[in-house]
Amino acid sequence: MYKIRKAENLADKIFLMVVEAPRIAKHCEPGQFVIVKEDEVGERIPLTICDYDREEGTITIVFQIVGASSEKFSRLQAGDAFSDFVGPLGQPSEFIHEDLEKLKKEKILFVAGGVGTAPVYPQVKWLKEHGIDADVIVGAKTKSLLILEDEMRSVAGNLYITTDDGSYGAHGVVTKVIEDLVLNQGKKYDKCVAIGPMIMMKFACLTTQKLGIPTIISMNPIMVDGTGMCGACRLTVGDEIKFACVDGPEFDGHKINFDEAMKRQQMYKTEEGKAILRLHEGDTHHGGCGQCGGDK
């Protein structure tokens, strides 16, 4: 059992929990995720790691209520426990393995949308701890849905907040801020990391591609099983078939076929849709991840 040390309601239907998981905390890196189950019969939920404390042996997760399982999670309090808490899974953010001196010469822009702020935070924090200041844009529909503002402000070089309704920060979507920083303020970025809802990442990539900024995105939103066994997170990256849970979750955003991924995400929710996908995708529908044997 994995004891919950802290449970906090950050915003409407958005919750933060600090969980005792010393082995995961010892080995995890920014960009990776965990699989969480409330009890023996509960659903397995993949959640990106928001923060970790190696000395305390804790992992911080942030989740939004989107179904029955996440709603059950939201009812848990400090002192309760998860039955399963597995990880770290997936590949770490690519800059973890880059030459640090080279990385210090680069200017990096992070774009976080909604709950995507949670997986962006540990990446910006890691850079800060290694002497690198990154600019961060955080977008939310409205002020009441903005999360982790203080935490992000403490690690970002410059923090730009925008809300769709103009209730806080700038008025508009994140792409508007990206364009303003580059076209009006003369900012130059070597790379961008954008994490949030699929539609936000799609338009962020269209914007950065137009501006000539290489962009990394996280395909965590399409993961289901999280271990390569279900095939739900199959996506096209350039001319290759990848699986978000084992090959990612981070990929070159300019190579992602977002329209295909979003359409597939909706179809995968029904048995009829799954059957159509099997028909259209043939041998690559399930398998190819190299982990589950589904390609044999």
pLDDT, tens digit, 9 for 90 and up, residues 24-41: 999 999 999 999 988 887
pLDDT of residue 158: 95
The structural domains of the chain, with segments of one domain joined by +, span: 2-89, 99-218, 222-248+255-284
CATH number of 2-89: 2.40.30.10
| Region of poorest pLDDT, from 7-16, 151-160, 233-242 | 233-242
**What pLDDT digit, counting tens, does each position of 175-219 carry?**
999 999 999 999 999 999 999 988 999 999 999 999 999 999 988
Give the mean model confidence (pLDDT) for residues 150-169. Answer: 94
Tell me the DSSP string of the chain. Answer: -EEEEEEEEEETTEEEEEEE-HHHHHH--TT-EEEEESSTTSPPEEEEEEEEETTTTEEEEEEE--SHHHHHHHT--BTBEESEEEEEESPPPGGGGS-HHHHHTS-EEEEEEGGGHHHHHHHHHHHHHTT---EEEEEESSGGG---HHHHHHH-SEEEEEETTSSSSEES-HHHHHHIIIIIS----SEEEEES-HHHHHHHHHHHHHHT--EEEE-GGG-SSSSSSS-TTEEEETTEEEEHHHH-SEEEGGGB-HHHHHHHHHHTTSHHHHHHHHHHHGGGSS--SSSSSTT-
Query: pLDDT band at 285, cuts 50/70/90?
Result: low
Question: The CATH number of 99-218 is which of 3.40.1350.10, 3.90.1150.10, 3.40.50.80, 3.30.1360.200?
Answer: 3.40.50.80
**What pLDDT digit, counting tens, does each position of 75-113 carry?**
999 999 999 998 898 889 988 888 888 899 999 999 999
| Region of poorest pLDDT, from 3-12, 49-58, 220-229, 232-241 | 220-229
Residue 277 confidence (pLDDT) above 80? no
**What is the pTM (predicted TM-score) of this model?**
0.84
